[in-house]
Structure 1
Amino acid sequence: MGVKSALQLLLLAAIWGASFLFMRIGAPSLGPVWLIEARVGFAALFLCVVALLMKKSLSLRQNWKHFLFLGVMSSALPFLCYGYAAQYLTASMMSIVNALTPVFGTAIAALYFRTPLSRNTVIGLALGVLGVSVIVGFDPELFKTQAWFAVFVVLGAPLCYGIATTYTQVGPSVAPFENAQGSMLMATFALLPIAMFFTPNTTPNATESLSVIALGVLCTGVAYLIFFKLLGEIGAPSLLTVTFLIPIFGVLWGVMFLDEKVGIHTFVGGVLVILGTMRTTGFSFKKALKSE
C-alpha cells in the first residue's frame, strides 16, 4: 500500500469515526428517525449531483428492488439503530460495536451458504461477544437508564451490515457507484413514510444542523466516494484495515469534542472486539500494508 493510499485510508477512517460524533450531537434534537432521514437524504442529493457532474446514469427501473434491499439493510435500518443508540450511548461505544461488522458478516454468510463455521470464526465470535460484555458489564451507568436497551439495539447495525454483505454475494452485479447512489435514494424513500409519524424533539440549533449536514454529505456521500476509489486501488483485503481504525477515531473524537470518559473496561473490551474481528477475517496488518 502506497503512502497516498494509506493517507486516504486514514482519512476515510477519520470521517466514518466522526459519524458517531455527529449522530450524538444531532440525535437529541431531531430524534433517530428524522436524523437518519436527513442523513440518507443529504447523501442521496450529494451523490445525485456527483452523478450529474460525472455523467453517470442510474439503472433505477431495472434494479429498484436490488437498490431497495440494499438501501434498507445497509443504510436505513443500521443507521436507525445507531440513531436510536446515539441518544443513550457514547460515540466511543458505538464505534467499537461497529467493528463487529465483519464478524457478523462472516457468520451470516456461513449460515446462508450452509458452510461449517471455522474454528477461527467461532473464536472471533466469542471474542466479540466477550468484548461487548466487558464494555457493558463494567459500566454501571448503563443500567441506571434506558441505555441498557440501546446496547441491544446498536448490535442490530452490524447484524444488518452482515446481511447486506451476504446479499451482495448473490445479488445482481451492479457498479459500486450505482449501488451507493441507488441505495441512498431508496433508503430516503423507504424512511419518508415512517418519518411522517414522528416529529423532531426540538428545532436543531446551528451546531446540530451542521452536524446533520456533515453526517449526510461528508460521512456518507464523500466517504462512499473515497471508499470505492480505495476499493479499486488497494483491494478489499487492505481496505478492511479501515474497520480497525474507525474505533480509534470514534473514541478520539468523542473524548476531544464531547468530553467522553473512556474507562479501562472500554479499552479492554475494544481490544477484544478488534481481536475477534481480526481472528474471524484472518486479517493481518503486515499483509494489508504490503498488498496493492
Structure 2
Amino acid sequence: MFQSRLAPMSPALAALSRALAFMGRYGTIGFAASIFIGLALPGLAATMRPILPISIFAFVTLTFARADLAGVRKALAQPGRLGLSWLWITAAMPLMVLLGLALVGRSSVEPGLLLGLALVAASPPLMGFAAYTALLGMDNSVPVALLVLTMVVTPLVSPTLASVVAGAVVPIDPVLISLRLSWMLGGAFLGAFVLRRLLGPARIAALKHEFDGIFVILYLVFAIAAMDGVIGAAVAAPGKVALYLAVATASCVVGLAAAMAVLRPLGKPEAFVLGLGTGMRNTGLLIVAMGAACPPDTFLFFSLLQFPIYCAPLAVAPLARLVRRPA
C-alpha cells in the first residue's frame, strides 16, 4: 500500500489493501462497533491509554495528508461564507456551554464535569469531522478547510476558551497547553507533508477506502484506550456515569440541532455538515495536552463522550440522506 507509485503491490500488501478497503466501505458501522469493542476489552484499556497521544497524532497527520487541496481552495474562494462558518464552529459551542451553566448554576456542576464541558467548548471540531462527512456521501471541502483554520489557531484560542468556561478548575497553565498543542500539531502537519510527497495526492485519493479502513482501526485503538476506567466507574457510581453520558450526548445533539436551525440560510446540507463539527469536538487533543494533570472525572466524561461521537455516523445517516434531497 505504501510502496512507490510505480511499483506493483506484493500479495501480502494487496491482501492488506483489500481488507482495509472492506473496512473503509463499511466505515459507519465500523465506527459504531469500535466503541463497544473498546468497552468489551477493559483489560487492555489501561495498557493502551498511553497510546492516546499517538493515535491522535496519527488522526491529525492522515486527515491533512488526505486533504483535497482543490476543495480547500474552493472553500477559500468564498471567504465570507468560510469566515462565518469558522466563527460559528469556534464560538457557538462555548456560548452554548456558558448558557447551559448559567441555567443550571455553575456551582451545581462538579469540578470534573465542569472541566470536561470546558474542554468540549474549547476544542476544535473532531478530526473525524471531515471523514464522517465523506462517509455520509457529502462534500467535505468546507470541513477540511475549517479543520485547517481551526487547527492553526487552536494553540492560541483553546486554552483561553477553557479558562473562560472553567475558570480556576483548569489544572494546568494555559501557556503550557499551548506549547504542547503547538508541538503536536506542528509535527502532524510536517508528517502530512512528508506523506503527500511520498505517495502523491493522486495515489492518496485512489486509496480512499484503504485510508477509511485505517481510520476505522485507529478509532478502534483510540476507543480501547479511551475506555480506561469506564467499567469500574459504571459499577462504583452508575448514577454519575449515566449523568455524564446524558450530558455528553446532549452536547452532541444540541450542537447539531443548533447549527441546523441557525445556519439554515446557508442551505440544509451545509448547515448539517457544520452541525456535525459543532456537536463533535476533538476533546482528546486537549486531554492529551493536559497529560497527567487531567482529573479522573474529566477523563471519565471524555470517555463517555466517545459513545455519541462513535455512533454519530450511523445514527445521522438517515438525516444526511434527507438533507441531501433537492428542495
What TM-score results when the alignment is normalised by the length of structure 2? 0.30
Higher relative contact order (CA 8 A, sep 6+): 1
